[in-house]
């Protein structure tokens, strides 16, 4: 089972909180709130996405690379390639 399935309820809670932040941002724009408030809302949503990203990357490492049950070199090879690809995008 994938770690994003195993941790599904934890991750869905985080994603729904982020969706709530993005919806609040949309309402703030529609209501023509001040730009300082909107900048702070964007920064908060960005921080929440960064936190989610880090969480899923850590689960990925634990499951596919470090786990005691991860015995196959092929699984680790694939897990490493996926991690490195996202790190390259992320850490540009």
Kindly list the residues in this chain that would bind a second copy in the complex (CB under 8 A): 2-5, 8, 11-12, 15-16, 18-19, 22-23, 25-26, 29-30, 32-36, 38-40, 42-43, 45-47, 49-50, 52-54, 56-66, 68, 70, 73, 76-77, 79-92
Give least dist CB 20 to a second copy, A.
Answer: 10
Q: Count Cβ atoms within 10 A of the Cβ of residue 64 and give its class: 0-12 exposed, 13-18 middle, 19 or more buried.
A: buried
Token readout for 57 is: 């990357």
Give least dist CB 30 to a second copy, A.
Answer: 7
Place of tokens 């730009």: 35
Query: What is the rounded distance in angstroms from the CA atom of residue 35 to the CA atom of residue 29?
Result: 9
Of 64, 59, 57, 60, nearest to 90 (Cα)? 57
Give least dist CB 80 to a second copy, A.
Answer: 3
Give least dist CB 52 to a second copy, A.
Answer: 6
Question: What phi and psi, each to the nearest 5 degrees, are found at residue 69?
Answer: -85, -10
């Amino acid at each position: 089972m994938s770690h994003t399935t195993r941790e599904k309820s934890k991750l869905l809670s985080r994603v729904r909180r982020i969706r709530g932040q993005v919806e609040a941002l949309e309402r703030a724009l529609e209501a023509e709130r001040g730009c300082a408030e909107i900048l702070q809302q964007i920064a908060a949503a960005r921080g929440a996405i960064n936190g989610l990203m880090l969480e899923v990357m850590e689960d990925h490492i634990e499951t596919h690379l470090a786990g005691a049950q991860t015995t196959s070199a092929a699984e680790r090879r694939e897990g490493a390639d996926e991690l490195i690809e996202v790190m390259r995008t992320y850490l540009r």
